[in-house]
Structure 1
Amino acid sequence: MSRLTHDRYCDEIIARTDALRATIRGADLTATVPTCPDWTLRELVLHVGRAHRWVGEIMRTRATEAVPFEQVPESAPGSDDAAALDAWLEEGATRTAEALRAAGPDEKVWSWAWERGTGFWARRMAHETIVHHADAALTTGTGYEVAPELAADTIEEWLEIVAFARAAGDERAAGLTGAGRSIHLHATDAPDAEWLIEFGEDGFAWSHGHEKATVALRGPLTDVMLVFNRRLAPDSGRVEVLGDAELLDFWLERAAFG
């Protein structure tokens, strides 16, 4: 599957932020987020909004070095009420999407990753918002939907991040080895949405295709994405795990970054 366009990622930053805003409207902002148990729902939203504004500042200044968070303007809402939080979240997403769109996909700027440019940040902020919207929806017990091409790209970006984390020396990701073992991700509702992750002595690699594997994670694409991003438990009943379930658990425990 190919990456989406720069404009699409910019559009999705706003669209997914709007979906997040709708999810938290009227919700208990002090509720603990089950998928991020160190955060309340309010802290989750603050994290998303600050990430948007941080990237917006990188775009505004065309930063070639890391921008300290304390240098980001308006990094918190003007007051504690829900309306202020909503307006602050909307404004940050809109400004960042506009700055990314104005810069285009090929401007060279600092990033923490393998790709140094505006295209990386547009994709990263779209998926950051997609996944944290899922956190909010799971907290509030509300519906959650994402377009198939976005769900598929979220999986691919996470594979790239985990591979980068392993190469950068992340202790958990370093354990993702073991020749002769493999994981098959199989979406039942989207053509060609299948991935094969194969472990080797020096790491792992992935490809597209329908292949027999040590363990298969099978179900609707959005649910496969949520399990793969550790937002939905494999035994939730919304997906099937066929084969060596311990290998999938092995991946989920070690596929991390930060």
Structure 2
Amino acid sequence: MQTVSEQMHLDSLDGALGFLEGKLSRARAAPGTAVPACPGWTVADLYGHLGTVHRWISEILELAGTGQRPGPRSDGSRPPDADPFDFFAASAREMFRKLCAADPATPSWTFGPPPRTVRFWLRRQNLEHLIHAEDLAQALRLPAPELSAQMALDGADEVLGMLVPQRIRAGSVPAPSPALAFESAGRRWLIGDGEPVAELSSEPVPLFHGLWGRSRLLESATVAGPVRGFTEFLATDYVP
């Protein structure tokens, strides 16, 4: 259940983009710096990846309302000789302007459940950029943009209420057995079938970051019942 308004997502995305833009000079000076949560990635790879995301989202928004679907996104779509930082800078605000101009209710291809509208992309792009802003902050050892509990809770809901169940239904990952329960700020999610034998309780921000592998969730959360199921869950590719 999405609990954050479209405008709140846009305002938050604006801040995340501003953080990434504001650190361009520092990132250019250390392009080979490793991104801790993304093995094999450097800061240059991070910016290059986001540039491909921006162009893909712009294409999706251009097709919104037409019934057409875009081609698949690929990090390989960036020209090999393109500077990743310039590639990012050339696309970030163009995507943001298109998101701001789009009617959230317009039908659009998404990889989420119905109703499939532009609204999905406002949420998805904000949460994606918040995670990658955290990546940059960890790589450059800087304070990350402030993340509210409400926004983090919405991010956790996207993972536990949409992404993980969808991947289980698609057969991309197995359902945990026995089921697992997650709780944060009065919200509860059940992953798997049947009664859970263990429940993890966490504050919203560490839950959001931990589900995306940006923090060690089991070190900050409280687990009632066997911890093994959560250890296995967090070690599996439940998020794309």
- Normalising by structure 1, we get a TM-score of 0.76
Runs (4+) off by over 4 Å: 74-79
In structure 1, C-alpha distance between the alignment counterparts of 2:101 and 2:80, rounded to whole Å: 25
| 1:151 matched residue in structure 2 | 152
Q: Give the C-alpha shift of residue 24 in structure 1.
A: 5.1
Inter-CA distance 151–255: structure 2 relative to 1 (3 Å threshold): same
For residue 193 of structure 2, the aligned residue among 197, 201, 212 is 201
Q: Which runs of 5+ in 2 are unaligned?
A: none
User: In the alignment, is residue 6 of structure 1 matched against residue 10 of structure 2?
Assistant: no
Q: 1:234 pairs with 217, 234, 239, which one?
A: 217
1:56: Cα distance to partner?
A: 0.9
Does the 8 Å contact 2:175/2:191 carry over to 1? no
Q: Decide whether the 8 Å contact of 2:180 with 2:230 is kept in 1.
A: no
Contact 2:53 2:73 in 1 (8 A): no
Secondary structure at 2:147 match in 1: coil
Structure 1 gaps, min length 5: 187-192, 205-212
Q: How big is the shift at 1:176?
A: 2.2
Identity across matched positions, percent: 21
User: Once the two structures are superposed, what CA deviation does each residue of 1:155-176 show, in whole Å capped at 9, x if it has no partner?
Assistant: 1111111111111121x2x232
**Maintained 8 Å contact 1:50/1:76:** no
Aligned counterpart, 1:47? 49
Matched, 1:31 2:33: yes
Cα-to-partner distance string for 1:38-67 (whole Å, 9 max, x where unaligned): 211111111122112210111123362123
TM-score (ref. length: structure 2): 0.82
Q: Please name the residue that 1:248 is paired with.
A: 230
Larger fraction in strand: 1
The corresponding residue for 1:224 is 207
1:98 aligns to 2:97 (yes or no): yes
Root-mean-square deviation (CA, aligned residues, Å) is 3.0
Which residue identity lines up with residue 67 of structure 1 in the other structure? G
Trace 1:14-93 onto structure 2 (pairs within 5 A): 14-23=14-23, 25-27=25-27, 28-62=30-64, 64-69=68-73, 75=78, 80=83, 85=85, 88-93=87-92
